[in-house]
Amino acid sequence: MLRPALRRLILLFTTIVAASSVLFALIHLGGDPIDGFVAPGSSLEVREQVRARVGLNRPLVEQYGLFVWRGLSGDFGESWRDRQPALSAVMDRLPATIALAGAAIVISLTLGVWAGTASAVLRPGLIRIGVRLFSMVGQAIPSFWLGTLAIFLFAARLGWLPASGNDGWRSIVLPAFTLAAYPGSVLARIVQVSMLERSGRPYVTTARGKGLRERTVWTRHILPNAALPALGFVGVEAGFLVGGTVVVESVFAYPGIGRLALQAASERDLPVLHAFVIVTVVLVSVTNIVVDLISVLVDPRQRSRVEMAPAHG
């Protein structure tokens, strides 16, 4: 168990260095970083004072080394725009994003597993066609368009739900469903294909030969084995959901880290952007570790490989 944990720790540090390097390069290749928060027409003296205050007057190599070190140490300095700790600005909005992403994960898992199971088990008919149509439409519609349509229909026209903000659970419903549409439709397709592929396996034939009811065969023998690819997708889904919050939170004016990151990008607030990227990397890494642990608990074969790993070392 020690060796896999060490590999994951090394991978996390490598990912942080890579993410910091890419962000540093993109910010500097996009022009002068101080252009986002210095008034147009400012004198050269004022610009140099600002550059010295934020540390941009140092050699580029020194700036890069300090930038990567801050990513590893978690000390991102102050926001260039608001002059408050960048990490605090991100952490203050993190609970709202976790609530939104958590709701989206629950919705996508519920819809995806139900739709995929129904599509695999049901005989050809209107319900099966509708489930497959949901899978295709969910992958085709962009989240910003779906969010705008949801605001128009459920907020402006029907008045059932608020269109923006974060005032209680009702404010999370529309952005959570919008965020869950794409991963839920992909998950439905994964579950469907996985269940149909496993329906012809020998252990399924044996279960049917024992006289078990068809419903029992699908729920106890096929679905648990078909869930493993779906669990693997959940780790990928976590990265998509955190990244997707940038668009969805902007559409719904939801006060999370996605909207904060978009504002920081428009203002070239490098410390806040850096804190957002590293916090996202850690969240996705932790989610993947949890998914791997669940996979080990679900699949005895993976548990056996983990237990035998030290013996082969």
Please, are residues 100 and 175 in contact by the beta-carbon 8 Å criterion?
Answer: yes
Amino acid at 278: I
The predicted pLDDT at position 312 comes to 43
For tokens 């056996």, name the residue.
304
Q: In which element (H, E) is residue 57 found?
A: none
pLDDT tens digit at each of 313 positions of the chain: 566 667 777 888 888 888 888 888 887 777 777 776 676 777 777 777 877 777 777 888 888 888 888 888 888 888 877 778 888 888 988 898 888 888 888 888 888 888 877 777 776 667 667 777 777 777 778 888 888 888 888 888 888 888 887 777 888 889 989 888 888 888 888 887 777 777 777 777 777 777 777 777 777 777 777 777 777 777 677 777 777 788 888 888 888 888 888 888 877 788 888 898 888 888 888 777 777 777 666 655 555 554 444 444 4
Query: pLDDT value at position 300?
Result: 56
Supply the DSSP symbol for 85: B
Predicted TM-score of the model (pTM): 0.76
Helix axes 270-298, 300-312, angle to 10 degrees: 100
Which of 120, 116, 171, 165 lies closest to 138 in space, CA to CA? 116
pLDDT at 133: 79
Cα three-residue angle 176-178-179, rounded to 5 degrees: 65
CA distance 19 to 8: 16
Question: What dotted CATH number matches 92-312?
Answer: 1.10.3720.10
> Which amino acid appears at position 242 of this protein?
V
Residue boundaries of the structural domains of the chain: 15-73, 92-312
**Dist CA 48 CA 55 (whole Å):** 10
| C-alpha distances out from residue 25 to 36, 68, 120, 237, 268, Å | 16, 12, 47, 27, 13
Find, among 286, 237, 285, 262, the residue nearest to 90 by Cα. 262
Calpha distance 105→112 (Å, rounded):
10
Distance CA 135, CA 128 (A): 11
CA atoms within 13 A on the CB side of 117: 19
Q: Are 272 and 79 in contact (CB under 8 A)?
A: yes
Tell me which amino acid residue 199 is. S
Contacts of 182 (CB under 8 A, 6+ apart): 138, 139, 143, 240, 244
Instruction: Kindly report the length of the chain.
Output: 313
Predicted local confidence at residue 306, as pLDDT: 46
Amino acid at 18: A
Count of CA atoms in the C-beta half-sphere (13 A) of 278:
27
Output the six-digit token pair for 26.
Answer: 């993109």
Q: Give me the pLDDT at residue 124, please.
A: 67
